[in-house]
A and B are shown apart, each in its own frame.
Chain A
């Protein structure tokens, strides 16, 4: 009974989600009036996290052969560890642009911008930390990238999906 293996440490989802919300609110209040400044601040915070997570998750992996291998690692292992599911779809133009589609992105599940606000701006703020994480993870794996996100607002009556393109 007492000899069970050490469990993987975990915390409740909602605790991370609430922390992320607080970080987004704080950045929105302190980064300056423009959406860009807020996005940049969150992106920088996410970068640190993605960089260190990728370092930990890829430690046991053999060296990646090419960029596509790295992106696949990002879509599967990294995404599963960080966002609890794999990316739904990966597209590329074979010239260095990759599009990752997550149809039920966790951090957008409760996204409902007030009607008065610009949904596009708020979505880019809500997704900025994640973009930074992806950028940081890629940086750790020796890929310099710019990362942006698009959020397709679902029809009001629809619960899911929440498709996010990165």
Chain B
């Protein structure tokens, strides 16, 4: 019944052009520390990271649809499975477990054991409240909005802050109708 998403994810990751994760991780770290210096307010940093992620997600979805070998998902449960097993795998080389569904099937959590963004990172005391990897929430939100799903996405737990694991909560808010802009063509 369940489709072999793990295998599809592995295949997509093996095919995609890759770069050493250290470059990516250190670049992200350098960005976050600069944001922290510039804004002096962690809430503002979290917001900025989410916004950047949103922009990235809006473009990453094209790459995903072109290369993942995934066709239309029947429901939100399937969409979440695909994000966890295929998208996380294909782009970051990791798998996110999809758990803690609400009965309606509109909310779930991604559990991430090895977040590559966290490598080499230790948060100082002064960074309390910083959602270090908040860019991931933005990416998911931005990508799903391109395929007409309005979602909310936020960190519930972060291993960097001493939690036992990293957990991102995803909730479906609305299925958007296809909109056409008369002046587009």
The 8 A CB mask of B63-91 against A (1 = contact, 0 = none) is 10000000000000000000000000011
Candidates A18, A22, A48, A53; contact of B23 at CB < 8 Å: A53
Counting chain B residues whose Cβ lies within 8 A of the other chain, the interface size class is 20 to 34
**Are B26 and A10 in contact, with the CB atoms below 8 A?**
no
**Are A10 and B31 in contact, with the CB atoms below 8 A?**
no
Question: Within the assembled complex, what's the spacing in Å between the Cα atoms of A18 and B27?
Answer: 12
**Are A13 and B17 in contact, with the CB atoms below 8 A?**
yes
Question: Would you list which residues of chain B between 124 and 169 have a CB under 8 Å from chain A?
Answer: none
Most chain A CB inside 10 Å of its own CB: which residue of B20, B116, B120: B20
**Interface with A: B52-60, B104-112, B171-179, which one?**
B52-60
B41 CB to closest chain A CB (Å) equals 14
Question: Within the assembled complex, what's the spacing in Å between the Cα atoms of A162 and B17?
Answer: 19
Asked if A81 lies at the interface with its beta carbon under 8 angstroms from chain B, I say yes
Asked if B7 lies at the interface with its beta carbon under 8 angstroms from chain A, I say no
Question: Within the assembled complex, what's the spacing in Å between the Cα atoms of A15 and B59?
Answer: 10
**Nearest CB to that of A84 among chain B residues?**
B19
Known: A9-B93, A10-B93, A22-B55. A16 touches B30 (CB 8 A): no
Candidates B20, B27, B29, B55; contact of A10 at CB < 8 Å: B20
B residues near A93, Cβ cutoff 8 Å: none
B154 CB to closest chain A CB (Å) equals 20
B residues near A46, Cβ cutoff 8 Å: 30
**Are A16 and B17 in contact, with the CB atoms below 8 A?**
no
Question: Would you list which residues of chain B between 1 and 54 have a CB under 8 Å from chain A?
Answer: 13, 16-24, 26-31, 33-34, 38, 48, 52
A-B contact count (CB 8 A): 95
A residues near B55, Cβ cutoff 8 Å: 18, 22, 25
Asked if A49 lies at the interface with its beta carbon under 8 angstroms from chain B, I say yes
B38 CB to closest chain A CB (Å) equals 7
The 8 A CB mask of A8-42 against B (1 = contact, 0 = none) is 11111111101110110110001000000000010
Question: Within the assembled complex, what's the spacing in Å between the Cα atoms of A14 and B12?
Answer: 13
**Nearest CB to that of B38 among chain A residues?**
A30
A residues near B34, Cβ cutoff 8 Å: 41, 44-45
Candidates B23, B29, B92; contact of A82 at CB < 8 Å: B23
Known pairs A41-B34, A53-B26; list 17 more (Cβ under 8 Å).
A10-B19, A10-B20, A10-B93, A11-B19, A11-B91, A11-B116, A12-B16, A12-B17, A12-B19, A14-B63, A16-B24, A22-B55, A45-B27, A45-B31, A48-B29, A48-B33, A82-B20
Can you offer 23 A-B residue contacts whose CB atoms are under 8 A? A9-B20, A9-B22, A10-B21, A11-B19, A12-B16, A12-B92, A14-B17, A15-B24, A16-B27, A18-B55, A18-B59, A19-B27, A19-B28, A19-B52, A19-B56, A23-B27, A23-B31, A48-B26, A49-B23, A49-B26, A49-B30, A52-B26, A84-B19
A residues neighboring B (CB under 8 Å):
8-16, 18-20, 22-23, 25-26, 30, 41, 44-46, 48-49, 52-53, 56, 81-82, 84
Q: What 4 A-B pairs have minimum CB-CB distances, sorted nearest first?
A: A10-B18, A9-B21, A13-B17, A48-B30
